[in-house]
A and B are shown apart, each in its own frame.
Chain A
Amino acid sequence: MTMLLPKFELHQPTTLADAVALAKKLGDDADFISGGTDLLPNYKCGLNTRGHVISLQHIAELKQATATTIGAGVTLTELEHNTEIPAGVREAAAHIASPLLRESGTLGGNLMLDNRCHFFNQSYFWRNSLGYCLKADGDRCHVVPRINVNGKSELNNKVCVATHSSDLAPMLIALGAEATFVGPAGERTVKLNDFYWGDGIQRFDRKPGEILAKVSLPKWALGVRSGWKKLAPRQSIDFSVVGVGIALELDGKKAKRLRIGLGAVDTTPVLFDFAKEDVRKAADSYLMVHPYEGMPEVIGKPLTDELIDSVATHVQTQAQPKLNVPMAPDYRKKMCGVLTKRLLKELRDN
């Protein structure tokens, strides 16, 4: 079945400066494309298409990678085989989609992945018969049909709960990554954790015309144990429905640093930072009601099986998956705890 792409004009700048200038000129009517493995399927379904597409594939500046700085244009296959970067990032990259898609897909594309939902990622015909949804063409949400506005139940035409299914984002957030953007106003660096906004439509804090240039990891990220576990209907091809990325630093048997990134259970990646001073600053997606209540004391304590259990229980209670991607939310919620427990034990024992 051939699904035709909508008509658009393709621009192929060769420097970052040219791409920024083009984006400024074209304004709202342009999308960036790199590997195209997320944008083109969406375009083929007629989802939020634009008249111009700016390709970032021919920009050499985006393709450089060192141990702590990775260009946004680095493909997932390159990332998977890069032995310098933390093991968790390699594992997360190796779990994304299929080998064929990883050959094209890039780091930047995975971080900027469009949020996913049963009612959004469908063909034009499918969506047309249902009456569209908030995220594309429509004015109501089918996942959360009604919301409470000032004590009255109203049709939900405000909140989109589409799930953020990126595998690299939660792992990189657990490792404390920062993202550098280049835009009309110059260069800007933000913590990756502060970058995601918690809305299915306005997904992140990207100013108009800005391009993700690189992701940098702090020095401590190279010295910690990190790992990634993912739950998906099939081991290959499918988007994750639960993803857990953990960065763990041990001092003897005691935990010195523990950061857990949870993916595909909310509109953003969710961070659990068990270092006390950082607790309130960490991500609080507004759909998580009480993000950090009852967080167990971990730092400075020996990482026993009981402690791991209470960490896993905490992660499981806080996760709030919605019924908008494959697999039932209660199962996915339980699996958040299960995967956290398995991964923490693996990281502790290896």
Chain B
Amino acid sequence: MTIKKGISLALLVIGVVALGLVPRMGASESLLNLLILMFIYTMLATSWNILGGYTGQVNLGHAAFFGLGTLTARMLYTGGCPLPLAFLVAGVVPVVFSMLIGVPAFRLRLRGDYFTIGTLALSQILYITIGNVLPKITYLPMADIQNYQILPRYYIILALTVFTIGVAYALVKSRLGLGLVAVRENEDAAESLGVNAFAHKLLALAVSAFLGGLTGGAYAYYQPSYYFNYTFSPPWSLEPVTMTFIGGVGTVHGPVIGAIFFVLLKEWLVLRVGEYHLIIFGVLFILVVLFLPGGLVEAWERIRRLVARRTTVKATAPTACAGGNNLPGN
């Protein structure tokens, strides 16, 4: 157990160090851009997974958190606010907003569907409102655009990604994480064991909103220009769900794997089939939910078990043959 933990920790450190060294090994700017995209999508999926995967409260309005994060960070950053503070506030604003839906839905013990529809509705309202109030393109400050530096963006967003995964890991390994899973599995049973379901759901929502907002902060810092309401648009709600399920819902590494897979496949598809890639991802999502509910993580587990069985069969095969030879010969 501890050896296995040590190995995964070592792999993680090697991975992060390797990612840190990539720019020094003469990586092209387009490769760095691709990696940054993977980082951002990893953050997005990981933040969604805390509420949707671990706590079982399906949020179809994650774009609201992400969008508020981009809006806040962009406004503050272009207004001259120091970057760390902009990131922090980008996380806090969505938390406050999330309570609008979280407190009433969880306090009244409304069934999960009400929460889901509520999140969808609120994110759509925000999307439309921002489109009306701020119907324009936002740019990074002139100084940033004229001398756009990808390297600091690469490193900072890498750090934010590591932070996000770290928070998710610490949370699910803690006693709180245990409570979250209990609430997902069976709320009544969880309460009968002393889990305060309301507080747990609210906490998961807050953490999910904070990290979702932080993801938005990363995006606002990275992207030179976009329409203000673009980051509130439905794909930012649906893609984290797709990625998480493809990777493996309710696991720490699932969203990471899902995000990498998603970004690669999306880049490849967009070049070839354009907007039709949405249909392909829709179908893929349905197939995964139907036939591989644990996502790629589960697929990997199945393969490993199959291989393990094969090797044990091989190992025991000679003795089985020897036993078989005894019978007819003698």
Task: Judge: A and B partners, yes or no.
Answer: no
